[in-house]
Structure 1
């Protein structure tokens, strides 16, 4: 699904395009949908995680990745990037989106809230409460996304030496 980016930025890297792609490739492992993990409280520990580890793929001059983290966070952005040569340097354009599952769950919950609110015999004041709950839910989702996006942007800047 091609979703609109909630955060996008460009990095001017001193690395050549080939070196930039090699650097990101060194930090990316293939996607595993059932990665073995050991839960310790809120943290999920597995060997592949690290501040600068991603799962996804690098193909041609593009990459599509998601950061591997040791804690449960569905808001961790999916990042798509394009590396372009700019002489001896490179220009990396990165788009960050919410994961598809978050958007699907949010859409279903919104639909359930709306159908439930407008099919009941509740007084009109209750509709305002439903709207307030929906706005609060959107705020929480976007806050979680922006916290993770800022962490992930810092990691990309380190990887590409920007």
Structure 2
């Protein structure tokens, strides 16, 4: 078994920078997907598309779900990579919680509503992967609303925090 070489702080920081750009792009995609259900991501219109047999109509709903998953996955990667970088730079001590969410919560960088939103999206994403036929429009709708309410602030806060970390080459 070969071990991977350690990831340097500069490489982690570049990865975070790429994630932040990708998250901004995915946010724009999500806004476009949600515009199909204007105004304000109307539940009735979304549910109609979710239950539709017409492929084009159904694809409108699946585009929202896909963007929900993409943003969630990138946000989790941003969280874990940011915490790894902060640990590597000594900005998070060895006595801090091992769980990245708990470490960020302790630093007041992750709020309870943001954590709840991440958990809700994960549960929805898992349902869509393992029991797709049981996933309901209301589950996706609720996860999207929670993500739209909490993710932008969390992304901005983590982006500022990581930018302030003293990374040297």
TM-score normalized with structure 2 length: 0.33
TM-score normalized with structure 1 length: 0.34
Larger radius of gyration: 1
- Structure with more of its chain in helix, by fraction: 2
